[in-house]
Amino acid sequence: MRSEQEFIDGLYARVDALRDATEVSVGDALAQGDTPRQARLERDILVAERSGLLAALNAVDGSLCFGRIDLSPVEGGPAAGVTHHIGRIGIRADDLERTPVLIDWRAPVARPFYLATGHTPMGLRRRRHIATAGRHVTDLHDEILDLGDRERTGHEDPSGDAVLLAALNSARTGRMSDIVQTIQAEQDRIIRAPHRGVMVVEGGPGTGKTAVALHRAAYLLYEHRELLAKRAVLIVGPNPAFLGYIGEVLPALGETGVLLSTVGELFPGVHARAVDTPEAAAVKGRAGMAEVLAGVVRERQALPDPVIAIEHDRDVLMLDAGLVRVARERTRAAGLPHNVAREHFEGHILNTLTDMLAERIGTDPFDGSNLLDPSDITQIRDELAENPEVWSAVDQLWPRLTPQRLVADFLADPDGHVPDEDAAAIRRPSTGPADWTPADVPLLDEAAELLGEDDRVARALADRERRTQVAYAQGVLDVSYASRTYEFEDKEEEDAEVLSAHDIIDAERMAERHEEDDHRSAAERAAADRTWAFGHIIVDEAQELSPMAWRLLMRRSPTRSMTLVGDPAQTAEAAGVGSWEEILAPYVQDRWEHTRLGVNYRTPAEIMDVAAGVVRAERPGFEPPRSVRSTGVRPWAREAGDDLPGAVAEAVAELTPAEGRLAVVAPKALHPALAARLDGVTAGREPDLTRAVVLLDPRQAKGLEFDSVLVVEPAAYGTSDLYVALTRATQALGVLYTGELPASLRGTGLE
């Protein structure tokens, strides 16, 4: 222990020095004034890199080093063999060779720490887990991997799983923690999989899918740092509470360049806070919606009914349906999105009207030939283009549309586009910004694709902005020029060689530099950009996403570099897709990899038996993942009697762990009555999961984990919701019901 403590002391001394030096260099760089462009760029890169390093150093401070591997001696090497300490990030010594002091867990050298066994020692004689509290070593656990090795340290862990079991049994905090000290071999293979395309990770509750997905993100950021720092990694989760739950894992691994989001947050500018009925969400999520919306857009490309009369220069021009149809077909033939195509439509309409007018005023009454020359025709066209009546006709026939307007109008009046039953489910007369739901977001995204950006307006605005910037830069330069004369007056002699900004830069270039000054990280820029292409996308609870949500995500991943984790047995959303084949075939055919996790690290065997029984009542052959531990504590079920809230309060008092968290999972309708009886309980849309007792409905419980769980009124849930609710506990489970215990729970081992 003493020698490990000395190592850790030395490590932190190095980290502190590194942190100080980094802080100073960031401070110095930022303090540099106006420097030439190249120097500024280098400065910005340095600031970004060092700030990242600082963030990483600060984030991992708590338990920087957690392991050590001792390699078997080899000929020519040290007699005792080489040792490497393994940690959350890599640290090098301040010597000429920059010798590694701490090996990043993601480095290939660290891999045997996770994979070596007595059977396949991978060159190791010993694996050591180092437990620390802050900067102090509190315990060591050694596994002997070279069975011929006689040396003993007194810290041997014969079964090799003491550290894992301690982690699994520890009190929960309401925030997921990383598993970097105890990644298991089957998990490690997925985390480091070299596969670049779509990888599906399937596994039952508690098999570490979420943990694996997050560690894979960290691994990919390490392995492909340059690409992913630019393109960012997106992690998609089912709801904001879940994202809050997993939000600390990557920072604790020193990684901050990741965007965590629900699908409902992926349309910049729209905050989808309203809630759909399950029927509405299911209808909106269907793949057929893409075609429906395309039809809605086509319908907005209207024909006159029967004509539009345009007054022009004492003439009246009649734009009839036949003429407009021709213009419309020609425009559509170009295959452009609606708003982009409008420019073409405008051109066709102007040409049509020009021909009409030219024919009317230029035809020779004697021989029918046209007396106008090309410049007359151009003039007629230009005059028509000045006529507001022409533009109001174009607006009517091919209106500029926003995705929000299009989808809102469609939802207000879906009749005729979808079957009556579906229209009834999704109809929503009021369409203010507060009415958007998560299921609307993929529709908005689809609409944005169909409409395209008419970037003429954006271009004009950008142009104006640029002119303002150039004017501003010119002002700055003028000031700097004026102050130069003033400042340098006395020192003219000695500073004669000093160049001012004015000498080396013109206003145009200075404006350019201002434009480039975007200090946001790739993840921040990605969050604000609907068309961002992410370097890698990780989707948790992937089984819940609708076909329309998949269309949105695939647009964000043109390279199809994705990790999808999920468990079809836990599918709750009616819109969710039943099979991976169905989800993926339209995008990658069968070019995707399928991996499985088979060990349940969360739920003890006693609880898993009950949960599995529920699914078996519906699917007799169902095989749950194997629990890695049993606690000897039997889960129980009780009839609540007449006072359900009272019985819940009693059970809560019994189940609340001394340390750790309890979740009461109950149907939403019961929440007000239960919350009124439970002291200090947290509930609502995004409950604070770090509080001791949390009240959730089964959907909110998805992906989360607690020490104890009380399931209330199980008869109110469908099979998959009940399965999810029953598999959230690491220690204890109670079930309270009124009337009869549901048949699926009978005979499952409940006490």
Binding site as annotated, residues for ATP:
203-210
Nearest approach in angstroms of CB 184 to ligand ATP is 5
Cα separation, 566 vs 210, in Å, equals: 9
- Token readout for 320 is 């009839």
Strand boundaries in 43-161, DSSP class E? 65-71, 83-87, 91-92, 100-104, 124-133, 136-144
Cα separation, 118 vs 113, in Å, equals: 12
Nearest to 244 by CA among 312, 174, 187: 174
Nearest approach in angstroms of CB 628 to ligand ATP is 9
Nearest approach in angstroms of CB 206 to ligand ATP is 4
Nearest approach in angstroms of CB 308 to ligand ATP is 59
- Token readout for 99 is 């010798």
Nearest approach in angstroms of CB 702 to ligand ATP is 7
Cα separation, 100 vs 93, in Å, equals: 6
Strand boundaries in 387-544, DSSP class E? 536-539
C-beta of 257 vs 703, nearer to ligand ATP: 703
**Contact at 8 Å (CB) between 198 and 219?**
no
Nearest approach in angstroms of CB 748 to ligand ATP is 18
**Contact at 8 Å (CB) between 91 and 103?**
no
Binding residues among 126-165 for ligand ATP as defined by CB under 6 A:
164
Cα separation, 707 vs 603, in Å, equals: 10
* CB within 8 Å of 678: residues ≥ 6 apart: 648, 649, 652, 664, 693, 695
Determine the size of the site formed for ligand ATP (CB under 6 A): 23
Nearest approach in angstroms of CB 170 to ligand ATP is 9
588 binding ligand ATP? (CB under 6 A): no
249 binding ligand ATP? (CB under 6 A): no
C-beta of 206 vs 613, nearer to ligand ATP: 206
Number of Cβ within 10 Å of residue 495's Cβ equals 12
Nearest approach in angstroms of CB 727 to ligand ATP is 6
Given the rule CB under 6 A, which of 43-51, 104-112, 181-189, 446-454 is the region that contacts ligand ATP? 181-189
Binding residues: 203-210
How many Cα atoms occupy the beta-carbon half-sphere of 237 within 13 Å? 25
Nearest approach in angstroms of CB 83 to ligand ATP is 23
C-beta of 446 vs 707, nearer to ligand ATP: 707
Nearest to 436 by CA among 457, 411, 461, 471: 411
720 binding ligand ATP? (CB under 6 A): no
Cα separation, 657 vs 732, in Å, equals: 9
Nearest approach in angstroms of CB 23 to ligand ATP is 33
Nearest to 346 by CA among 312, 397, 406: 397
477 binding ligand ATP? (CB under 6 A): no
567 binding ligand ATP? (CB under 6 A): yes
Out of 63, 72, 184, 700, the residue judged to bind ligand ATP by CB under 6 A: 184
Strand boundaries in 224-376, DSSP class E? 233-236, 258-261, 307-312, 315-320
Out of 534, 601, 717, 723, the residue judged to bind ligand ATP by CB under 6 A: 601
Binding residues among 399-438 for ligand ATP as defined by CB under 6 A:
none
User: Which x/- pattern, by CB under 6 A, does the window 722-751 give for ligand ATP?
Assistant: -----x------------------------
C-beta of 547 vs 566, nearer to ligand ATP: 566
User: Which x/- pattern, by CB under 6 A, does the window 202-221 give for ligand ATP?
Assistant: -x-xxxxxxx----------
C-beta of 175 vs 417, nearer to ligand ATP: 175
Longest CA span, the chain: 118
Out of 168, 443, 451, 647, the residue judged to bind ligand ATP by CB under 6 A: 168
What amino acid is encoded at 379 in this protein? Answer: Q
Find out whether the peptide bond into 108 is cis, omega within 30 degrees of 0: no
C-beta of 172 vs 428, nearer to ligand ATP: 172
Cα separation, 749 vs 751, in Å, equals: 6
- Token readout for 246 is 């997993």
281 binding ligand ATP? (CB under 6 A): no
Nearest approach in angstroms of CB 664 to ligand ATP is 18
698 binding ligand ATP? (CB under 6 A): no
Given the rule CB under 6 A, which of 7-15, 97-105, 182-190, 649-657 is the region that contacts ligand ATP? 182-190
**Contact at 8 Å (CB) between 129 and 140?**
yes
283 binding ligand ATP? (CB under 6 A): no
Nearest to 104 by CA among 123, 128, 85: 85
Q: Dihedral sign for Cα 661, 662, 667, 672, please.
A: negative
C-beta of 106 vs 602, nearer to ligand ATP: 602
705 binding ligand ATP? (CB under 6 A): yes
User: Which x/- pattern, by CB under 6 A, does the window 93-112 give for ligand ATP?
Assistant: --------------------
Cα separation, 395 vs 342, in Å, equals: 9
Nearest approach in angstroms of CB 181 to ligand ATP is 7
Out of 51, 63, 187, 437, the residue judged to bind ligand ATP by CB under 6 A: 187
239 binding ligand ATP? (CB under 6 A): no
606 binding ligand ATP? (CB under 6 A): no
602 binding ligand ATP? (CB under 6 A): yes
Given the rule CB under 6 A, which of 106-114, 152-160, 183-191, 548-556 is the region that contacts ligand ATP? 183-191
Write b or e for each residue in 403-432: b if 16 or more Cβ atoms lie within 10 A of its Cβ, otherwise e.
Answer: bbebbbebbeebeebbeeebbebbebeebe
Cα separation, 15 vs 268, in Å, equals: 39
Given the rule CB under 6 A, which of 150-158, 176-184, 312-320, 506-514 is the region that contacts ligand ATP? 176-184
Nearest to 161 by CA among 743, 629, 699: 629
573 binding ligand ATP? (CB under 6 A): no
183 binding ligand ATP? (CB under 6 A): yes
C-beta of 167 vs 424, nearer to ligand ATP: 167
Nearest approach in angstroms of CB 213 to ligand ATP is 8
Cα separation, 340 vs 279, in Å, equals: 34
How many Cα atoms occupy the beta-carbon half-sphere of 201 within 13 Å? 31
Nearest to 666 by CA among 688, 697, 691: 697
Nearest approach in angstroms of CB 477 to ligand ATP is 57
238 binding ligand ATP? (CB under 6 A): no
DSSP state of 171: P
What does the binding site for ligand ATP look like in residue numbers (CB under 6 A)? 164, 167-168, 179, 182-184, 187, 203, 205-211, 567, 570, 601-602, 703, 705, 727
